[in-house]
Copies of this chain bind each other. A is one copy, B any other.
Amino acid sequence: MHVVVPYRVSDPKTRLAPVCSPAERETLSRAMLADVLDAVAGAGHDPTVLATEPFDIPDGASASVEVDDRPLSVAVNAVLCDRVERDSPVAVVMGDLALATPAALSDLFTTDGAVVFAPGRGGGTNAFVARHPEFRTDYHGASYRDHRRICADVGVTPRTVDSYRLGTDVDAPADLVEVLLHASENGRTRRFLAERFSLATGDGRVTVERRE
């Protein structure tokens, strides 16, 4: 399967600005991408990073790079148009799924269906597989709802995989809790964060706090 990992190269993860410096956000974002690429490889596929500009794949990870500086939906749709119309299924996996494992991705990749979604928290579409020539993406707003509508428009009944790991993208400070608790202890993302943050449970809600 052709597995595409969209990736924004410059100024990534702006919603983490309250807790991470710009340099930390870039390092964290690269670590997450490398962990996702490893998970895709572990599931038996060679990933392609769909990057907003040229950049070097992080050390230790392996992927092809295609550059497309257009908005996310446009860039992904160009891939879908090119591949799926030639009867070649495409998987799109976001580069910030720091909890992704080969097993969770394999479950997505091997689930039958013209379109199969791994929904993300807050209405996102964290990953999907498209085997139908007319499915297209629209990542603006509640994309999961919109993607279901697009499926209905082209006569597809989508399927969904039920995965906490794929449903967890790392955008906001609260998401760092998920990495510290659930990401692989050997992964780059968890190691990077665990050196800098620990869990805090002061008022009953779990957050992260910077280590002394």
Contact = CB atoms under 8 A, between A and B. Distances in A.
Contact of A141 (B104, B141, B167, B206): B206
A1 interface: no
A164 interface: yes
A36 to B, nearest CB: 16
Given A144-B181, A181-B142, A181-B145, A164 B199 contact: no
Contacts of A181: 119, 123, 142, 144-145
Interface string A87-106: 00000000000000101100
A165 interface: yes
Identical subunits present: 2
Interface in A143-195: 144-145, 162-167, 174, 177-178, 181-182
Contact of A204 (B141, B174, B182): B141
B122 A177 contact: yes
Interface of A: 101, 103-104, 119, 121-123, 140-142, 144-145, 162-167, 174, 177-178, 181-182, 199, 201, 204-206
